[in-house]
Structure 1
Amino acid sequence: MNKKRLFIRSAVAVAVAASSTSAFAAGFQLNAQSATGIGRAFAGDAVIADNAAVMARNPAAMALFDENAFSIGFESITTMIEVSDVTYRNIATGFTPTSVADTDDVGDTSIAPNVHLIVPINEKFAVGINAYSNFGTKTEFANDYAATEYGGLTDVKSFNLGLAGSYRLNDQWSFGAGLDLIYGEGTMKRQPSAQLNGFIQAIPSLSPLAGMPLLDVDGATGTAIGFNIGTVYELDENNRFGFSYRYSPEFEAEDDKGQTITLPLPDIAEFSGFHKIEDSKFAVHYSVQYIGWGSFDQIEFSNLQGSVVSGDYNKDYVWQDGWHYSIGGTYYLNNDWTLRAGYMYDTSAQDSITSISVPDSDRQWLSAGLTYNIDQKSTIDFGFTYLMGKEVSVSESTEVSGIPVSSVTATTQANAILMGLQYSRSF
C-alpha cells in the first residue's frame, strides 16, 4: 500500500503541474501599457512616442520628449474560452471513455490600470516612472467539471513599478535603461475528479486522502527585480527606429501557509519602426517582438501542505520561443482627431505540450483606436482589439513511471476582447 500511496501522490502532482499554467501562455504577456497601443495592435510601440506610455516599451524613447508628459488609463481584457469534444479517462474506471459536456464559461474579465510620467531634465537627459500590469488573467472551471484535475482555478495578477532614464547622444542616437520592481499575486486550486476521489476513498490506506485538494495555493505573493534597455535611431523627424530588450527574472510567490510557486519568466526583445509620409496625414508603423518562452522549462511547487501533493515537486515543460509581428497605420484627420488601426500575428508559446486549461494557439489581432485632442496639451485615447485564436486539438495524459493514470482529449479555442481608455497631458 505504501507504493500505491506514492503512486497516487506522484500522479496527482503531475496532473497538477500539467494543468496549472493557463495564465502564462494565454495571458502572461498582457500588453496593457496603453490604450493607444491597443488601438494599433502595438505596432511601432517601441518608438512612436505619442504619449508617456512609450517608456514601458523602450526607455530610450523618453529622449523624444521636450516637456513633461503624463498618461493614465486602464485596459479591460475579456477572455472567451471554449472547451469542447472532451473525452476523459482515468484509472478509477479502468479508462472507460467518459464524455464531458462542452463549456464556454472558463474565461473572465480582468482590469489592468497604468500610469506613466516622463520628466526631461535638460536637452540630454530625461527620467521617468511608471506603473502598470504585465500579468493578469483568470480561468476557472466549474467545481463539478468531470475532468477537474485538468481544470480548476488559476488567477494571476501583477504590478510593475518602473524607474528609467534616457540619454540623447546626438541628433540621431538616444539610449535608455530602467529597473522593474515586479509584485505578483497568484491563486491556483485543483480538486480531484469525483471518480478519482472515489477510487482513493475505496483504498483503506489512502482513504484519509479522500476529499483533499490536489493543489490549494491561495493568494501567493512575491516580488522580483528585472531591467530593460533600449535605443532609438532617428533618420529625421518623420522616420525613426527603436530597439529594446527586457530581462525578466525568475519569480517566486509564497502564500500564508508557506507554499511557494517558482516561475522562470521570459525575456523580451522588440524592434519597431515609424514612418510618416511627408506632407501627408498618414503614418505607417510596425514591430517585431521576440518572447523567450524557451526558458520556461518548469514550474516548481514547494512546501505544499494540506493537499494530496506534499513536499516539493518540479514539472518539466517543452515550450518554444514566441513571436509577435504587427503592422499599423495612423491617420491624423485634423487638429481634433487622430485615427489608428493595426494587425498582429502572435505565435503560440506551446509546442508539443498542450492542455485544456492552457487554451493557447497562434492568434490574430484586429485593432482600431482614436485620439481626441481636448486642447493642445491634453488628449483622450480609446483602443479596441478583437483577438482570435485557432482551434487546437488537445491530447493530454498523466503517467507515473510509464503507467497511465488519466487522460483527456478535447478541442480548445480562446478569443479575447481588449479595450483601453487613457488620458494624456504634457506640461
Structure 2
Amino acid sequence: MVWVVRAYQTNSDHGRLSCPETRMTRFKQTSLLIAALFAAAPAVHAAGFQLSEQSIVGLGRAHAGAGVAGDDLSAVFYNPAGMMLLNGTQVQGGFTYAEIDAPFEGTTTKTGKRFSDNGRAGGEAIPNAFFVKEINERTRFGFGVTVPFGLGSGYGENWDGRNEGIEAHIMTVDLNPSLAYQLDDKWSIGAGVSAQYTKANLKKGARGAPSSVSGEIEADSWDYGYNLGLMYQFNADSRVGLSYRSKIQHEPEGDYTVEGFPEVTGLNGVYGGANKVTTPESILLSGYHRVDSKLALTGSLRWSNWSRYDTLTTVNDSGKVPASIIENNWKASWFASVGADYNYSDKLTLRGGVAYETSPVPDAEHRSPLIPDTDRVWLSLGGSYKVDKNLTLDAGYTYLMGVGDRDINAADFKGSYSSITGHLIGVGMQYRF
C-alpha cells in the first residue's frame, strides 16, 4: 500500500486603544475571528504536491520573498523572525483552490494493450490562518494554522495501472505557535513548534493476486517538529532571511481493508494497519529590496531533503497478508523564485512572479501514478486592495506547468503523461485591530 505525503506583514504604526472597554471589545472581536478562521482550516482537504500555498499574497509572486516581504502574516510559517516587521495585533485567513490535470497513456507489459486514464482528482481548497501580536517593541507572538503537505489523485477501480495505485487522498494540518525577538536594529531571530495532524486514505491493487484484489488503508496520527528563523536588515528597504523547518516522522495507524479475494481464502477483511513516513527538513533563503516608493523586488530559494523518503513499508496485523514495501529512492528538491510588487495606488498593489521547482523523483522507474510528479514552472499574478486602514483583501493565481521527464516504467505497464498542468487560485484577507 503506497502511503505518500508530498513535502514539501505589514509595516504600520502601533495601534493605541483609548479605554478598557474598547480593548475588551476588540479582544472579543479578535478571539471570534481567529476561532472562525482556525475552525475552518482543518475542515478542508489539501490536494496536489508539496504545498507552498501558505500565503495568498505570496501566491501572486510565486512565493518570492517568503517570510521577509513584510506585507502579510505568513512569516509565522516561512520565517518567524520576519514577524518583527509586523506591529499591533493582526489576523489573516484565506483559501487556495488547487486542481491538477494529468492525462496518461500507456501500454501493459503482458498483453501490449494500450490504455489511457487521468490521475486528476476533484479540485480542493488549501486553507491558511494566522494571528500575530506585538508583545512589546522587541517581541512578537504568532500562531499559524496551515496545510503544508497534501495529495489528491484518483483513477478508475479497474484501470490497467491499479497495482501501482488506485486512489490517494492525504491531508496535513499544522498548528504552529511562534515567537520572534529583535536583537538589535539589524538582527532578528524567531522559533516555533509544530503539532501536525495527518490523515490518509490510500488504495492500490496487489501484484500476483487476482485483478479484483485491492488493499486500502485509512490512518491518522499527531506528530511534532519545529521551525527556526533569522533575519538581517541592511536598512529599511533591504533585508534577507534564512529559515529552517524540521523533518517530522509520521507514524499513522488505522484500518487496513483487503477485498476482492475469493471468499474461500478467508483473506478479505478489515485489519489494523500502520506505516512510517518522514516528511523532509527544508531550508529557505529569501530576500527583499524596495527599489523606490512604487517597486519592490523579491526572491527565494528553498531546499527540501526528500532523500529521507527512501523506502516505505506498510504493515498489517492480519497474519495472512504480507507487508507492502515500496522503493522510492527520492532525492533532494529545489525551489527558486523571483517576484515583484508594484504600488499602483495607495489602495492597490499589483504583483507577479516566476519559479522553477525540481522533482524529487529520480527516474521513470520510481515515478508513481499516485504522484504524477515532474519538474515544474510557476507563472504567478496577484494583487491586494486596501479597503480601509484596517482591512486588506488579497488575491493570487498561479499556473503550474510540468516540464522534463514524464514517463513511468512500472512492472505492469509503461507510459507517459502527455502533460501535467495545474491551477492555483487564492483569495484572502488581513485585518489589523
* Counterparts in 2 of 1:330 and 1:24: CA distance versus 1, 3 Å: closer
Please tell me the residue identity of whatever aligns with 1:376.
K
* Counterparts in 2 of 1:22 and 1:242: CA distance versus 1, 3 Å: closer
Partner of residue 410 from structure 1, selected from 390, 397, 416: 416
What's the counterpart of residue 216 of structure 2? Answer: 216
TM-score (norm 1): 0.84
2-structure distance, mates of 1:39, 1:117? 21
CA offsets, 1:123-178, max 9 Å, x none?
11111111011122210001121222123000001110001001100010000000
Q: Are the counterparts in 2 of residues 46 and 270 from structure 1 also a CA contact under 8 Å?
A: no
* Counterparts in 2 of 1:105 and 1:300: CA distance versus 1, 3 Å: closer
Partner of residue 359 from structure 1, selected from 372, 392, 409: 372
Q: Are the counterparts in 2 of residues 23 and 155 from structure 1 also a CA contact under 8 Å?
A: no
Q: Shift of residue 354 of structure 1? A: 1.8
Please tell me the residue identity of whatever aligns with 2:327.
D
Partner of residue 152 from structure 2, selected from 129, 138, 154: 138
Instruction: Tell whether 2:427 aligns with 1:426.
Output: no
CA offsets, 1:282-337, max 9 Å, x none?
0000000111111111112122649xx82434333211110011000000111110
Instruction: Tell whether 2:290 aligns with 1:289.
Output: no
> RMSD over aligned Cα, in angstroms?
2.1
> For 2:62, what is the secondary structure of its paired residue?
coil
Q: Are the counterparts in 2 of residues 392 and 412 from structure 1 also a CA contact under 8 Å?
A: no
What's the counterpart of residue 360 of structure 2? Answer: 349
What's the counterpart of residue 98 of structure 1? Answer: 113
> For 1:294, what is the secondary structure of its paired residue?
helix
Please tell me the residue identity of whatever aligns with 2:107.
T
What's the counterpart of residue 62 of structure 2? Answer: 41
Q: Shift of residue 118 of structure 1? A: 0.7
CA offsets, 1:206-229, max 9 Å, x none?
xxxx7432x2102x1111101000
Please tell me the residue identity of whatever aligns with 1:226.
G
Please tell me the residue identity of whatever aligns with 2:226.
F
* Counterparts in 2 of 1:266 and 1:339: CA distance versus 1, 3 Å: same
Q: Which structure 2 segments of 5+ residues have no match?
A: 9-46, 256-270
> For 1:131, what is the secondary structure of its paired residue?
strand
Q: Shift of residue 249 of structure 1? A: 1.2
Q: Are the counterparts in 1 of residues 373 and 406 from structure 2 also a CA contact under 8 Å?
A: no
Q: Are the counterparts in 2 of residues 23 and 139 from structure 1 also a CA contact under 8 Å?
A: no
What's the counterpart of residue 123 of structure 2? Answer: 109
1-structure distance, mates of 2:168, 2:317? 17
1-structure distance, mates of 2:431, 2:273? 44
Q: Are the counterparts in 2 of residues 183 and 222 from structure 1 also a CA contact under 8 Å?
A: yes
What's the counterpart of residue 152 of structure 1? Answer: 166
Partner of residue 161 from structure 1, selected from 161, 175, 179: 175
Q: Are the counterparts in 2 of residues 288 and 325 from structure 1 also a CA contact under 8 Å?
A: yes
> For 1:314, what is the secondary structure of its paired residue?
strand
Partner of residue 88 from structure 1, selected from 96, 105, 108: 108
What's the counterpart of residue 391 of structure 2? Answer: 378
Identity %: 28
1-structure distance, mates of 2:119, 2:49? 20
Give the length in aligned residue pairs. Answer: 378
TM-score (norm 2): 0.83
> For 2:136, what is the secondary structure of its paired residue?
coil
* Counterparts in 2 of 1:69 and 1:57: CA distance versus 1, 3 Å: same
List aligned pairs for 1:187-336, cutoff 5 A.
187-192=201-206, 200=210, 211-213=212-214, 215-218=215-218, 220-256=219-255, 257-278=271-292, 280-303=293-316, 305=318, 310-336=321-347
* Counterparts in 2 of 1:368 and 1:264: CA distance versus 1, 3 Å: same
Q: Are the counterparts in 2 of residues 359 and 413 from structure 1 also a CA contact under 8 Å?
A: no
1-structure distance, mates of 2:5, 2:120? 11
Q: Shift of residue 22 of structure 1? A: 8.0
Q: Are the counterparts in 2 of residues 226 and 248 from structure 1 also a CA contact under 8 Å?
A: yes
